[in-house]
Amino acid sequence: MYRLIISHETRSLARTGALWAILALLVFAIGFAAFAGGRAITRQAKGAADAVAFENGERAKMRQDTEAYAAEVAASGGTYEFATVNHVPGRGPPQGTNAGVVGAETAAYVVLPPTGLAALSIGQSDVQLNYLPASMGTTLDMIKNLETENPVNLQTGPFDIAFVVIFLLPIFILAMTYDLLSSEKERGTLAMILAHPVSLRELMASKIVARAAVILAVVVGFGLLALLSVGTQLDQAETWVRFALWIIATLLYSLFWFSLAVLVNVYGRSSATNGTILAGIWLILVVVVPTLVSLLATTLYPAPSRMDLIVAAREAQTAGEKNMGSALDRFYSEHMDQVPTGDQRAMDFLTLAQANAANIEKALLPLYEQFREQSLHQEGLVQRFQYLSPAIMMQLALNEISGTSTARYQDFLDQAFRFRSQWNDFFASRFLKREPLRPADYDQFPSFSYVPESLTTVLGRLATSLAGLLLVCAGVTLLPFVGLRRYQVAAR
């Protein structure tokens, strides 16, 4: 019986022009989103690669200079010396021998590699830079291009596949189902059908299956196509695990909207009323609630503004400068390149600058901590309030699955900060001891390699959102099947 009704419904749907228009739109939206997502990922990857290549090139040049200098020293039998800050190009030791210069004037980029599914949900990754410069100096230099004041969690984000799934898919589903029973009732075919040995429940379930099959075939099929066309790391099992999770989440989310349409239909109002009610619910759950939760998060736990950071950095710097003694010292410390050649004080000023940076860094530490805390608070609040709307749960789930979640980024930042201090220590210790860098030292520079989170960590974070979706779905799915008992087929 189910099969008969499903095939009948499919045939009826296939002969409905409006359905083809809806599907064409959906396919177009997915295609465009995949294109946009793929382009964003490519752009990020290219930006990171360019930055890394540029800095590596700078260091390679310095290394060449030191190699030439080493050869020269070996030939003349002189000593291999440490370059002063201000030197005449081509004479004396090159800048590449000075650890302070190499460590501060070139940067090592730390790069967060995208997951295989990154293109499906760009999330915040367009404002969360996926590559950051690590160099001597302060952490502030590293994160100054980060968008810290961004209303973190729940921005609509770019037009990616997650957007299509979260915002547009419900509209397509509701367009196909808002009059699921009411249209048959209004047309009079419901009475014809129910005069046959078919229960309302069978009819309803079959109608849903027919529509769900159409929509999901399109979403999963085109999602897969999109993944294949823009995805990366397709050879890794983890990518396919993530894709399976993506499909599960999409299934649950779709089921929610289908069930909601059934629930509204069960109350037996007119198609027009059902449509209005469902559109209202969509607006509240997909637009209003997420906006309010985001607003609540940023109001309750505002991130310290970037201005606060900069002001604090200035204050620390001013305090440091007071200790610097004479006006001349201060002048030279600001115009290091104008210190006369051979003036030993130049080195002192560099040392002072290094000490100064350490001071500023120390002064800013509480602020960084505050950032981190506020960001964690915001994230925690969104995590707690996500159960108010399936759209939030879905956004969090998709971000997690695609590797663009706040938690993964925070983990990357932690790794990046650790690497920066490693980089800083490596060069600072050599510089302060005036140890000249030799060509071979260039192979000893710290290098960053991202440690990916384990899949269990990701699954653990994902579990709350998915479990929430599952619960809401179960609730909304079961209700109509209880309510169907009271459905009035005939008007009194």
Binding site for another protein (CB under 8 A): 1, 4-5, 8, 11-12, 15-16, 187-189, 191-199, 488-490, 492
Specify the DSSP element, H or E, that contains 110: strand 108-111
> How do strand 131-134 and strand 108-111 relate by DSSP bridges?
antiparallel
Specify the DSSP element, H or E, that contains 39: helix 17-76
Q: What is the total residue count of the chain?
A: 492
- 340 DSSP assignment: P
Tokens of 203: 């009819």
Provide the 10 A C-beta neighbour count for residue 302.
Answer: 13
Distance in Å, CB of 201 to another protein, minimum: 11
Distance in Å, CB of 189 to another protein, minimum: 5
Distance in Å, CB of 31 to another protein, minimum: 28
3-state secondary structure of 131: strand
Nearer to another protein, 55 or 184 (CB): 184
- 130 DSSP assignment: S
Cα separation of the two ends of the chain: 29
Nearer to another protein, 454 or 488 (CB): 488
Strand partners for 109: 133
Nearer to another protein, 192 or 310 (CB): 192
Tokens of 21: 């228009």
Contact yes or no for 461/382 (Cβ under 8 A): no
Distance in Å, CB of 203 to another protein, minimum: 10
Nearer to another protein, 19 or 288 (CB): 19
Nearer to another protein, 89 or 197 (CB): 197
Distance in Å, CB of 179 to another protein, minimum: 14
Distance in Å, CB of 489 to another protein, minimum: 4
Distance in Å, CB of 14 to another protein, minimum: 9
Nearer to another protein, 4 or 319 (CB): 4
Nearer to another protein, 151 or 483 (CB): 483
Distance in Å, CB of 192 to another protein, minimum: 6
Contact yes or no for 97/66 (Cβ under 8 A): yes
Instruction: List the helix and strand counts (H, then E) for the chain.
Output: 18, 2
Considering only CA atoms, which of 318, 51, 57, 273 is closest in space to residue 178?
Answer: 273
Strand partners for 108: 134
What is d(CA 426, CA 258) in angstroms, rounded to the nearest whole number? 59
